[in-house]
Amino acid sequence: MAYRPTARTEATRLAHRQRLLDAARQLLSEGGYAAASISALAERAGVATGSVYNHFASKQELLAAVFRHVAGHELTAVQQAVGATRGAAEQLRTLVEVFAFRALRAPRTAWALLAEPVDPLVEAERLTYRRGYHTLAEMIIAAGIEAGELPVQNVRLSAAAVIGAISEALLGPLSPVGERTDPEPVVAEIATLCLRAVGAGGT
């Protein structure tokens, strides 16, 4: 007779999986991918090292799952803040502010999400996740053109440029080897750059 999981073993399995994901998120926030070794993950989660592979095919699969979880959470926060705002310029400013302040408040995690060299599986997640931001910026810019608030422009190019500008401007302030800087002026400067780029003037 084949082994059939009972409700109880299934609940234990899900709990272990969740503990591994939580442990990975903590380790990521402390030392990036480099800190998330299989042994460190297992120890932090309080499970046997070998049991990691009962839940994930490889460490890369686990890191990709954590990436999706954390990056998805960030994207949702930005989307909700933008959705609560009106007007292209204010929505774009909100996008920059929520993205950048959240990143600067959790710099090690943000560095891992945006830039830390990592294997191709997580890299592929990074590209997918950036497209989520592109789509959000496209919606803002298209509505701004429609409303006559922004000049006519190639919406996809402008949206990608804005997301690229925000991410890359944050690389210096987020770099694990850089000095920590005051977030306020950094975020204000990035917002001004992005608003000017799409022709919204900025202030």
Task: List interacting residues with its own copies (CB under 8 A).
Answer: 115, 117-121, 123-124, 126-127, 130, 153-154, 156-158, 160-169, 171-172, 185-186, 189-190, 192-194, 196-199
Comparing CB distances to its own copies, the nearer of 47 and 64 is: 64
Comparing CB distances to its own copies, the nearer of 91 and 158 is: 158
Smallest gap from residue 91 Cβ to its own copies (A): 18
Cβ of 115: how many Cβ atoms within 10 Å? Answer: 17
> Do residues 194 and 162 lie in contact, with contact meaning Cβ atoms separated by under 8 Å?
yes
Comparing CB distances to its own copies, the nearer of 47 and 114 is: 114
Cβ of 45: how many Cβ atoms within 10 Å? Answer: 22
Smallest gap from residue 39 Cβ to its own copies (A): 19
Smallest gap from residue 198 Cβ to its own copies (A): 7
178: which DSSP letter?
A: S
Comparing CB distances to its own copies, the nearer of 45 and 104 is: 104
Smallest gap from residue 64 Cβ to its own copies (A): 11
Smallest gap from residue 124 Cβ to its own copies (A): 5
- What does the angle CA 64 – CA 66 – CA 72 come to, to the nearest 5 degrees? 100
Smallest gap from residue 55 Cβ to its own copies (A): 23
Report the half-sphere exposure of 154 (CA within 13 A, side-chain side): 4
Helix, strand and coil content of the chain, in percent to the nearest 5, comes to 75, 0, 25
Report the half-sphere exposure of 84 (CA within 13 A, side-chain side): 8
What is the spatial distance between Cα 89 and Cα 104, in angstroms, rounded to a whole number? 22
Comparing CB distances to its own copies, the nearer of 5 and 178 is: 178
Structure tokens at 45: 């989660």
Comparing CB distances to its own copies, the nearer of 13 and 126 is: 126
Structure tokens at 64: 């990709």
